[in-house]
């Protein structure tokens, strides 16, 4: 999931740059970064849950077939 941690550098004309600075572009970028981290955490949790479920199913199958 490294694609979420991409570089968000945007080259803009001076006027827009000032406007974005005024609107708190730094804060926006920080929020986006935090969201990416949360998504990474969720993906990790889903992967762990899937592994756990898979292991549980294998145990159940083993009990019934063995």
Does the residue 49 lie in any domain?
yes
Total domains in the chain come to: 1
**3-state percent helix, strand, coil for the chain, nearest multiple of 5:** 80, 0, 20
pLDDT in tens, 20-63: 555 566 677 777 777 878 777 878 788 888 888 877 777 776 66
In this structure, is residue 3 part of a structural domain?
A: no
Write the DSSP assignment of 8-37 as a string of letters: ------HHHHHHHHHTTHHHHHHHHHHHHH
Q: What domain range is 61 assigned to? A: 17-65
Q: Please tell me the pTM assigned to this model.
A: 0.36
Q: Is residue 29 part of a domain?
A: yes
Per-residue confidence at 1, pLDDT binned at 50, 70, 90? very low
> 30 in a domain, yes or no?
yes
CB under 8 Å to 5, separation ≥6 — which residues?
33, 36
Determine contact, residues 24/62, Cβ cutoff 8 Å. no
56 located within any domain? yes
């Amino acid at each position: 999931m490294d694609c979420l941690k991409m570089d968000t550098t945007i080259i803009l004309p001076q006027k827009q740059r000032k406007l974005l600075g005024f609107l708190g572009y730094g804060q926006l970028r920080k929020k986006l970064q935090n969201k990416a981290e949360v998504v990474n955490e969720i993906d990790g949790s889903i992967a762990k849950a899937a592994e756990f479920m898979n292991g549980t199913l294998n145990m159940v199958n083993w009990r019934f077939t063995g």
